[in-house]
Amino acid sequence: MQSPGMDQEVFDQFIEQLARYVRERLIPAEKTIVETDEIPSDILAEMRDMGLFGLTIPEEFGGAGMNVSQYIRTIHTLSYAMPAFRSIISINIGMFTSALKNGGTEAQKAEWLPRVASGEIACFGLTEPGSGSDSAGLQTSAMQTDNGWVINGTKRYITNAPFAKVGLIMARTSKENLPKNAHVSAFIVPFDVPGVSVGKSDKKMGQSGSHIADVILEDVRVGGEALLGGELGKGFAYAMMSLDNGRMSVGAAATAYARRALDSAIRYATERKAFGEPIANFQLIQQMLAQSEIDIYAAECMMEDVTRRADAGENVLRKAAAFKVFASEMCGRVVDACVQVYGGAGYLAEYDAERFFRDARIYRIYEGTTQILQLQIAKHMLREFAAAN
């Protein structure tokens, strides 16, 4: 059952307020965040007060109860600012909440949804040193005991791990690889239990203020209530269901950041003079600006279409993947054009263009690389063709 979402008038006012907050509060804070590599605690407190950690969580659990279109539009509005702001809230409202809403027991929802809605930070543990998109390679294991489970393994590149209070951890509950990935189950693991440790924050190409790290689980004992939904072998399915939302979120973020880069390029092109006139008057500069506008418009249309379909209850796996691939690749082209418009200045750290370029590169990798999503799209197309013929 799809959420009808927030009252539209209330939502429109919220978006207007958020857009103003992005312009007046978040963008001016970016320079400090680049220097310190962390979001200031007062901004995090403001984001909690605005309800940004619980956008899609049902109202009875303290969230805003947004539908998919509203949630993705909120992410799009927020993502005009640097990526760290989306990153800190995205796992809570996307991966963790989706998995809990789709597969959690009533007791699990009642315990965890209010906590993450109020701003306790969650993380999502699927990727490992030896496996990412390939669940057959998953090594983390959960062994059943008389009163629960013992989990052992290492998770890699886990967004928000250094700040997390809880993780949704994918672990192998069967030694054999089973059909439909039924060897993988999902566990809700509080990070204050013995045996959970978080490695040091990885140094990255871009995305200052956003943190990833290893999560190490050594003989971590959790009760039976930690198994998501109380069901074995459903973990990977729940993870994949929540990936549709994650992919739309990344697509929206890439689309908004491309717009930010284009706006920056237009401003620079009108201010920078060469041969006695603004470089914006030169047709080859105009071509780069125009092509960027065309690309962004296409992504915005895809965003509107896929979120509307998701709210109507359609299976959007293929379209969410297509939107994510197009928007992330498109953002790469636009930030590259932005550097080119800036010319030599675009390569200097004192200008925003080189940061946009570095920040955007990850969009083509996380939540499914372009290549794995192309394979997935093709597989679904061929399966549909075979079924119809």
- Parallel, antiparallel, or unpaired: how do β-strands 166-172 and 148-159 relate? unpaired
Q: Encode burial over 353-364: b for 16+ CB neighbours within 10 A, e otherwise.
A: bbbbbebbbbbb
Where are the alpha helices (H) located in the chain, listed in sequence order?
8-21, 27-36, 41-49, 68-78, 84-91, 97-103, 106-117, 235-271, 283-311, 317-342, 352-360, 370-388
Look up 367 and say whether it is catalytic.
yes
Considering 38, 128, 354, 367, which one is annotated as catalytic? 367
**How is 328-353 classified by DSSP, letter by letter?**
HHHHHHHHHHHHHHHGGGGGSTTSHH
Q: Give the separation between CA 3 and CA 205, rounded to whole angstroms.
A: 37
Q: Give the separation between CA 18 and CA 51, rounded to whole angstroms.
A: 11
Q: Give the separation between CA 250 and CA 161, rounded to whole angstroms.
A: 19
Three-state SS for 131? strand
CB 78 within 8 A of CB 18: yes
**How is 24-35 classified by DSSP, letter by letter?**
IIIHHHHHHHHH
Residue position matching structure tokens 């700040």: 163
CB 122 within 8 A of CB 84: no
CB 335 within 8 A of CB 342: no
Q: How many CB atoms lie within 10 A of CB 264?
A: 19
- Parallel, antiparallel, or unpaired: how do β-strands 166-172 and 122-125 relate? parallel
Residue type, 361: R
CB 52 within 8 A of CB 60: no
Q: Give the separation between CA 218 and CA 14, rounded to whole angstroms.
A: 43
Catalytic (active-site) positions = 367
